[in-house]
Amino acid sequence: MVARMPAALAIAVDLGGTNLKVGLVARGGRIVAKRSQAVAADRGPGAVVADMAELADALIEEAAVARAAVRAAGVGSPGPLSVREGIVFHCANLPNWHDVPLRDMLRERLKMPVVLDNDANVAAFGEFHHGAGRGCSDMVLLTLGTGVGSGIVLDGRIVHGHFENAGELGHMIVAADGLPCPCGQRGCLEQYASASSVSRRVVSAVERGAACTLGEAIRGGEPIDCIRVEEAAKAGDALCLRVWDDTCLYLAIAAINIQHAFNPARVVLSGGMSGAGAFLLDPINEHLGRQRWKLHEDLPEIRLSDLGPDAGLIGAAALAWQIG
């Protein structure tokens, strides 16, 4: 016999370029069950949506809950996309995803209301409701990974903007005529503050002849990621320390720009680089102290993510509760 749970549930979907995660989430942000698998991108959008529905059905069965207890579904997806129309216009890491009506396709499969939003917005919403943003009305999330994603929550609501592309803070220009970015601009924040940019700048400096304890590995073709640079910086390598400190400076500059644009109570850092903890936060705060304006004490608190990789699922569920 199927047991009924007193709390209503929501389906949460976190779609990435590589992995698909689906969760069954209770009010309050508790994940009852979750599953993940590789995204079958080469099979097209229809197959990916079918996988979402199958994982959702499996979680409902696994949790032994009545389907009627599942009120709605929330989806976080790479974009650009339209929240109003429920359409994913394009996904760089998902071939053949052009003008995909993802919201309506999943709604038809699940037979329940579905809400769609940008993956970084969804993660920000999760942190705002159940993570590092709890207790404040205004918060900005920066995800420091391959690029720099972001989500803005003001007065408790995700900011989308007229063209539904608000929150692309990874593409705010922090260095005039700086490093080229795949977006077509130069000097974007993500070229100076993403995890991939940290390792890329170290490799580039070594290739130009700079001394570095990672030099032999780099010249031998060994892949170098941000964690290797962080470890070398902690061990005192001068090049890695300089690149790391420059990264923290640019994040401080970003926080100051965010302060003047949105004046949030908190800026939350998530993604792979946030695992550095105090080694990341302390220099950011030092640079903040030196770079900030002196007219008024209104700097946001810089905090690390509380939810980690579950922020997307928990945020998707929080969105689902608004329509379910």
pLDDT tens digits, one per residue of 21-44? 999 999 999 999 999 999 988 889
| pLDDT-based confidence at residue 12 (cuts at 50, 70, 90) | very high
Tell me the CATH class for 9-126+310-323: alpha beta
Find where tokens 């700086």 sit: 178
pLDDT digits (tens, 9 = 90+) for 276-292: 999 999 999 999 999 88
Task: Say what the pTM is.
Answer: 0.91
Cis peptide before 180 (omega within 30 of 0): no
* pLDDT mean across residues, the chain: 93
Q: Which pLDDT belongs to residue 293?
A: 77
Pairing of strands 114-118, 70-77: parallel
Please check the confidence at residue 1 and state whether its pLDDT lies above 80: no
The structural domains of the chain, with segments of one domain joined by +, span 9-126+310-323, 135-305
Whose tokens are 């994940």? That residue is: 31
Radius of gyration of the chain from its Cα atoms, rounded to whole angstroms: 21
Q: Could you say which architecture CATH assigns to the domain 135-305?
A: 2-Layer Sandwich (3.30)
pLDDT at res. 35:
97
Per-residue pLDDT for 296 more than 90?
no
Does the structure show a pLDDT above 60 at 142? yes
For residue range 100-128, list pLDDT tens digits in order: 999 999 999 999 999 999 999 999 999 99
Q: What is the DSSP string of 130-143?
A: HSTTTT-S-EEEEE
Which pLDDT score, from 0 to 100, does residue 7 have? Answer: 58
Per residue in 190-208, pLDDT (tens digit) is 999 999 999 999 999 999 9
